[in-house]
A = this chain, B = another copy of it.
Amino acid sequence: MTLPSFTSGDLAARFGLELRGDAGLPIEGVATLARAEPGQLAFLANSRYRAQLADSRASLVVLRAEDATDAAGTVLVAKDPYTAFAKMAALFEHKPARAPGIHPSAVVDPRARIAPGAHVGPFVVVGARSTLGEGSVLGPGCIVGDDCVVGDGCELVARVTLVTRVRLGQRVLVHPGAVIGADGFGLAMDSGHWIKVPQLGGVVIGDDCEIGANTTIDRGALDDTVLEEDVRLDNQIQIGHNVRIGAHTAMAGCSAAAGSARIGRYCLIGGAAGVLGHLEICDRVVVTAMSLVTSSITEPGEYSSGTPLTDNRTWRKNAARFKQLDALARRVLAADKET
């Protein structure tokens, strides 16, 4: 584990950024402006923190042109410093080597196909007719059921379960504890008892998607549950059967979409927000945290529900009045008529 090292000039050239200052500074890591040490790269994406520039010990800072004048040291100028920083930081990420090959403890069905360059870790199970693409990684404890496809360059970090009929595109990253392709929640009442509606569909996940830790994505009842390309799901998200999520949409932690909901492209769903089933959200919709979408949204924009936080005593008084809101409104409207 040797540290990578680049000069400030290397970074400027590699990412096409304007360098102002010393091109020969060695850079061996990244940090926040506040904590950076000499030899590290930091970033300033929000001008509000501009005052931190003066005190930072970072050797190199990536920032916008308009903030560059405040910097005493060497800087890289970028239109979008956060994106530029993200790309540069990737150079300094230490990833454990995952050598090609199948760990002797893994249980792989003879009908499965594992690409020669793929890595299958300890205690992994791969079922019948499933395939694992070139350069892909099944980390320790992953379980891939029957009839699954894991495309090239995917990584299932550890303890991921693909239950059955799950097809991942290329470069899909899945974090520990995620369960993809479990039975959708389909029930029918029959003489006072529930009977289970068989879940015969699958799950299709597009290229470059990311699925967070302990997130669950159920397989479809008849058709598939679908995530288009570049969908980003945080931790503990629940996606019901037959949901479809458009490309480039991101959902924050603990949000959920119920069965057969359709979410558009480039949407942002806030933390713990919910989307009811069988409705449609168009492209470029933002739903704020803990809001509940109860009907289709046809116009791009930002949407919210809920009430603001107050001290509990105030809240109790106002919440009690919420129960009378319709009656109050009637009085107001009646009084208006009288005058």
Which are the 3 A-B pairs with shortest beta-carbon distances? Answer: A302-B312, A317-B326, A304-B315
Mask for A280-292, Cβ within 8 A of B = 1, else 0? Answer: 0000001111111
Among A3-11, A18-26, A65-73, A78-86, the one that faces the other chain is A78-86
Whether the Cβ atoms of A195 and B83 lie closer than 8 Å is yes
Chain B positions within 8 Å of A214 at CB level: 177, 179, 214, 216, 236
22 cross-chain CB contacts under 8 A: A30-B222, A32-B222, A82-B188, A96-B146, A176-B179, A185-B232, A192-B248, A194-B250, A216-B236, A271-B274, A286-B312, A290-B290, A302-B312, A305-B306, A310-B323, A317-B326, A318-B322, A318-B324, A318-B325, A318-B326, A320-B326, A321-B328
Query: In angstroms, how far is the closest chain B Cβ from the Cβ of A237?
Result: 9
Oligomeric state, in copies: 3
Chain B positions within 8 Å of A89 at CB level: 197-198, 200
Which of the residues B143, B198, B322 comes within 8 Å of A90, measured between beta carbons? B198
A254 to B307, CA, bound (A): 19
Which of the residues B196, B254, B321, B338 comes within 8 Å of A238, measured between beta carbons? B254
A216-235 interface (Cβ within 8 A of B): 216, 218, 222-223, 230, 232, 234-235
Which of the residues B213, B276, B295, B320 comes within 8 Å of A216, measured between beta carbons? B213
Chain B positions within 8 Å of A140 at CB level: 107, 125, 143
Whether the Cβ atoms of A96 and B238 lie closer than 8 Å is no
Name the residue on B nearest A334 (C-beta): B336
Query: In angstroms, how far is the closest chain B Cβ from the Cβ of A335?
Result: 7
Query: In angstroms, how far is the closest chain B Cβ from the Cβ of A110?
Result: 14
Whether the Cβ atoms of B235 and A127 lie closer than 8 Å is no
Residue ranges of A at the interface with B (Cβ–Cβ < 8 Å)? 30-32, 35, 80, 82-83, 85-87, 89-90, 92-93, 96, 103, 105, 107, 121-123, 125, 127-128, 139-141, 143, 145-146, 157-159, 161, 163-164, 173, 175-177, 179, 182-183, 185-190, 192-198, 200, 208, 210, 212-214, 216, 218, 222-223, 230, 232, 234-236, 238, 240, 248, 250, 252-254, 256, 258, 271-272, 274, 276, 286-295, 299, 301-326, 328-329, 331-332, 335-336, 338-339
Chain B positions within 8 Å of A176 at CB level: 143, 161, 163, 179, 182
